Amino acid sequence: MRIDLTSEPRLLQILRGVVRCRALEAGVPEPEAERLALAVSEAAANVIRHTYGGREDARLALEIRTFPDRLEFVLEDWGPKVCLDQIRHRPLDDVRPGGLGTYFMNCFMDDCSYDPDFAEGNRLRMIKYRQREVAH
Amino acid sequence: MKVQVRNVEDVAIIDCSGDVDLYSSPRLREALLGQIRGGAKSVLVNMGEVGYIDSSGIATLVEGLQLSRTTKTRFGLYSLRSNARSVLELARLHKVFNLFETEQEALEKIGSVQPFGGL
């Protein structure tokens, strides 16, 4: 499924609801669905704050793909290219406001990567692998 | 998200409910920093109705903590739900904040007349 929305911070709550709902439908346990919703919301918040500089009339799109072994969340924006060198969370022992969004994304997703072939803006692909059943 | 401020003796309590995220955290920030700058001796944030908090909400709480240290205001959080607590723990901030289980406990510890830094 794919949803398109504007870069209004108030819409993050709806985005989280969609992620949470889709993850639950795909059989993800509720606590993990919450964590996935947080990770995607942080990614979208980063786009709103940093890529769009707080503009609320820009575009965002989220595509959620479910596979037998994983869930993929693909977030697209049409802003300036992200400088990968500048995406770094703050050291956790350096207690100050900010700098944790990317950390939470990396904690809750198994892989986060940008598509270098998406020329119009940024396409962030976040993957969460399903936990395998333990054979008894 | 809703933010309401009430006073119990000389402690300002900020009752916060709903999602604290990029959209709503400025309201919490305004209330929190406003109370600290306004000269409250002690400020508590009631997190009992907060079902979700993201990095911008955490940043707001850290900002409040830092300002409270500057102004020597006692500051704490109480009634954190599991989601909010786990996010704080993940960010290794659970030992940085004064966290309490209940309002009564928070008032007893934060509201007591002990020198700042006793917590």
Residue ranges covered by each domain of chain B: 2-110
At A58-93, the pLDDT tens digits run 999 999 999 999 999 999 999 999 876 666 776 777
The tokens for A94 are 């350096």
Cβ separation B55–A45 shorter than 8 A? yes
What's the domain range around A72?
2-129
Residue A43 pLDDT greater than 80, yes or no = yes
For residue A16, the chain B residues in CB contact (below 8 A) are 19, 52
Count of structural domains, chain A: 1
Residue type, B66: Q
Fold (CATH) for B2-110: Transcription Regulator spoIIAA (3.30.750)
CB contact B51 to A (< 8 Å): no
Residue A46 pLDDT greater than 80, yes or no = yes
Cβ-Cβ contacts under 8 Å between A and B: the total is 62
Of A13, A41, A97, the CB nearest to B62: A97
- Percentage of chain A exceeding pLDDT 90: 79
Cβ separation B56–A103 shorter than 8 A? no
Supply the ipTM of this predicted assembly.
Answer: 0.88
CB contact B52 to A (< 8 Å): yes
At B3-14, the pLDDT tens digits run 999 999 899 999
- Residue A65 belongs to some domain of the structure: yes
Q: pLDDT band for position B110 (50/70/90)?
A: confident
pLDDT for position A73: 98
CATH, residue A38: 3.30.565.10
- Asked if A26 contacts A65 with a C-beta cutoff of 8 angstroms, the reply is no
Cβ separation B60–A34 shorter than 8 A? no
Phi and psi at A25, nearest 5°, equal -60, -35
Q: Considering Cα of B4, then B9, then B12, then B13, what sign does the dihedral take?
A: negative
- Residue A135 belongs to some domain of the structure: no
Residue type, A53: G
